[in-house]
Structures are given as C-alpha cells and as structure tokens.
Structure 1
C-alpha cells in the first residue's frame, strides 16, 4: 500500500488542573483571551457557540476557518478539557497548535493532567 505523506492536521487534547477557580467561571475572559490568540496566530474565526451552566462553568466552541478550539470547565473539580485542531490545508499548522495550547496552559496557570496529540 502506498501511503500519502499529507497530514490533515494536529489535534491536541488536554485535561488541565487549575488552582485559580475564577478562571474556570469566566467565559467572557476566556473568549477575550481567545480573540487575542486568533489575532496573534492569524486565524479566521467563523463563529462562537457558548453555554454557561448554573454553577457558572462553561462550554465554548470556537469555529475557525482552519478548524476549531473547544473548552469545557469543571470548577467543582478544578479542571478543564481543551482541544485545539488546525487543518494543514495551505500550510503546516503543527507548531501553531502546540503554541496555542501552551498559551492556554499559561493563561490558566494550569498543571497538565492529560496530554494527547492526534495526527489526523
């Protein structure tokens, strides 16, 4: 079997522990930070869908022309799950995916509990 060397993109999935619980409760601050990252990494936002729960935890999906960024927070467990996926359609975005994920880890001042990389 001949294998095509093209890789559609890197999908990074992390589970983080966050001591500053207030960061797990502020969907507005997360969106504002994400908007800065979208500009910093020259990405194109298609739309944002969000839901805030009764305990102020949130789930947000940011749809990008390049793919997506999604987060789900669990303040009662001091955790969040985050996934970042960018397609490699016009360029290799592997380094961007890793850098974006690292910027989110720094934003949350988080400890990494789980870290998965899927080359799609």
Structure 2
C-alpha cells in the first residue's frame, strides 16, 4: 500500500434489534465470542474494559492493536449498538471489518436497524 492510495480504514457502526434478551445481558458470553472472533481473524487485543449496569445491560470496549470494537446494550429496548474499526496500517482490512461485524450480527441473531460505514 503506497502513500497515494492509503486509506486509514473502515469504521462500521450498526444498531441491532435483538429478541434474545439474555444475549443483551450476558457480558461474559460477549467476551467469549469476541475472543473467538479475534482469534479467527488474527486480531490482537491490547486491553478490555467491561461495565455491567444494574439492569444487566453492558458496555464493553476492546482495544485492539488494529484499533477497537465497542458495544452498548439496551435490553429494555431489545437493542444494541456496535462499533468496529480496524485501521489499514499494514494491509487493507475493509473486508475483515465487514466480516467481523457479520459475526456479531449472527451471534446476536440481530436485525439491522442502522448500518453506517465510514471510510476514514
């Protein structure tokens, strides 16, 4: 990738409707599936912050060597927001961002309410 064609990366932001409330309140399950996704796609975690709220919803930020994955759940509304960004420093990660996002949609059996792609 030369400097004339360099693009910092794809940033996907999705909002999902999720009928399975248990998945919106299971932060440990989310961490387990995230670890599988990171291994599958060769992504390197450098830190993680988990916050479980009183209603069992959660916010989790996974800092990656390649950038980040963040989630916020609202079981009271059957929704979550997911943020996946991988930078393109050494390779084009555009398809990987799309594939990782699809893995989460599949895990949550989510219906996409909003889907934004930002080419940074």
TM-score tier (shorter): over 0.9
Distance 1:114 1:106 in 2: 16
Q: Which residue of 1 aligns with 2:53?
A: 53
What TM-score, normalized to structure 1? 0.96
Distance 1:55 1:12 in 2: 27
Q: Which residue of 2 aligns with 1:15?
A: 15
- Runs of at least 5 residues in structure 1 that lack an aligned partner in the other structure: none
Alpha-carbon RMSD across the aligned residues, in angstroms, is 1.0
Q: Is 1:116 aligned to 2:110, yes or no?
A: no
Distance 1:55 1:119 in 2: 35
Distance 2:6 2:42 in 1: 22
Q: Is 1:72 aligned to 2:68, yes or no?
A: no
- Runs of at least 5 residues in structure 2 that lack an aligned partner in the other structure: none
Distance 1:30 1:67 in 2: 18
What TM-score, normalized to structure 2? 0.96
Q: Is 1:63 aligned to 2:63, yes or no?
A: yes
TM-superposed CA distance for 1:97, in Å, is 0.2
Q: Is 1:24 aligned to 2:34, yes or no?
A: no
Distance 1:118 1:6 in 2: 15
SS in 2 for 1:29: helix
Q: Which residue of 2 aligns with 1:106?
A: 106
